[in-house]
Amino acid sequence: MKLSKNQKIISQLLERVWEDDDFKERLIANPEEVIIETTGDMFDLPDGKELEIVDQTDPDKVYFNLSPKPDMDEIELTDEQLELIAGGASDSDVAAASQNLP
């Protein structure tokens, strides 16, 4: 399987982060500069979007990321999501189901 540019960048960064705490701190503090310095490239980000790196490496914690409310008029729903809506599910139920959690 061929990795995308973004996947290659992520792989390079994770490899360094897992081995070098100082690098991790620099990456969190100044992600774009450190990414370009390390990989020679930058993630393809959508226009107007900003990159924020959050340290979620503490094995004693479970992290819960808050996602924006989906615009249900602008997304294409899967069959599973359509079944949930037909059964009376709310937008948040559909969003939670799309997270593929066990």
Global confidence as pTM: 0.64
The count of structural domains within the chain is 2
Q: What is the pLDDT along the chain (102 residues), one digit of tens a residue?
A: 788 888 999 999 999 999 999 999 999 999 999 999 999 999 888 899 999 999 998 999 999 988 887 776 777 878 887 888 888 877 777 766 666 554
State the DSSP code for 31: H
Q: Is residue 88 part of a domain?
A: yes
CB 74 within 8 A of CB 91: no
Q: Is residue 61 part of a domain?
A: no
Do 44 and 70 belong to one domain?
A: no
- Domain carrying residue 92: 66-102
Question: Which distant-in-sequence residues (6+ apart) come within 8 Å of 72 by Cβ?
Answer: 91, 94
Do 36 and 76 belong to one domain?
A: no
Do 38 and 88 belong to one domain?
A: no
How many Cα neighbours within 13 Å face the side chain of 84?
A: 15
